[in-house]
Amino acid sequence: MPDDYLKIQWAVDAASVSSTIIVMYLYHYNKAITKRCIIMEVTSVILPQKLGLKLREKAKETDSLPEELGVELILKGLNEELDPEGLVEHYRLLSEKYLEEAKEILKKGDLVQVSEKFWGATALTIKMLAAKKGLKLEEHGSLWAFVTTLSRMSRDEELVRFFGEVNVLHRNFYENEMDKDAVEIIARDAEKLIEKLKKIS
């Protein structure tokens, strides 16, 4: 199996009423020389709007992110799997992407998208840490169980407290009930949680 890492970026082309999935082979680990190098190969796949909407709906049903689900579907279609290192890198890059986007969108005041981006960055960081330990978290409840275990082992109750707050952002994506001050306060706690998680080996 190749060591190439797959990442999907999601965009909607309103003019042509279609969705574009960009598949980028971003990560290659060369064990022979024991160093990392970034390889970028871009392949665009144009989907009819109906399929693009279905992907987003399916992502919502499975409580996953469109990029995350898209990678899984492509891997299944190609009968491939990410190796453990590739899975960790997959989650890490997506988490960083979501966090960067969240900060930019916050400046524009789109609180619904900000909420989901901060939630996504946090959830992906948790999944990255679990993947380092050989685990794959696929359900919302498994995120809670993993964070609770980390909190108990590290004796850091803030992990659970911050994660509980970030879950409010996840709900806000669907209900749009929070004002700007509330979103900004919890967004700061989301960043604190992400930093705490990154320090756990």
**pLDDT, averaged across the chain:** 77
Burial of 186 (0-12, 13-18, 19+ CB in 10 A): buried
Residue 139 is classified by DSSP as S
Alpha-carbon distances of 98 from 80, 114, 157, rounded to whole Å:
25, 9, 25
**Domain locations in the chain?**
1-82, 83-201
- Cβ-based neighbour number of residue 92 at 10 Å: 20
3-state secondary structure of 41: coil
Express each pLDDT in 14-31 by its tens digit: 333 334 333 333 333 333
Express each pLDDT in 144-158 by its tens digit: 999 999 999 999 999
Global confidence as pTM: 0.70
Task: Please tell me the class of the 83-201 domain.
Answer: mainly alpha
The CA dihedral of 128, 98, 103, 38, to the nearest 10 degrees, is 80
If one compares 22 and 47, the residue with the highest pLDDT of the two is 47
pLDDT score for 43: 57
188, containing H or E segment:
helix 180-198
Q: Are strands 42-48 and 18-30 parallel, antiparallel or unpaired?
A: antiparallel
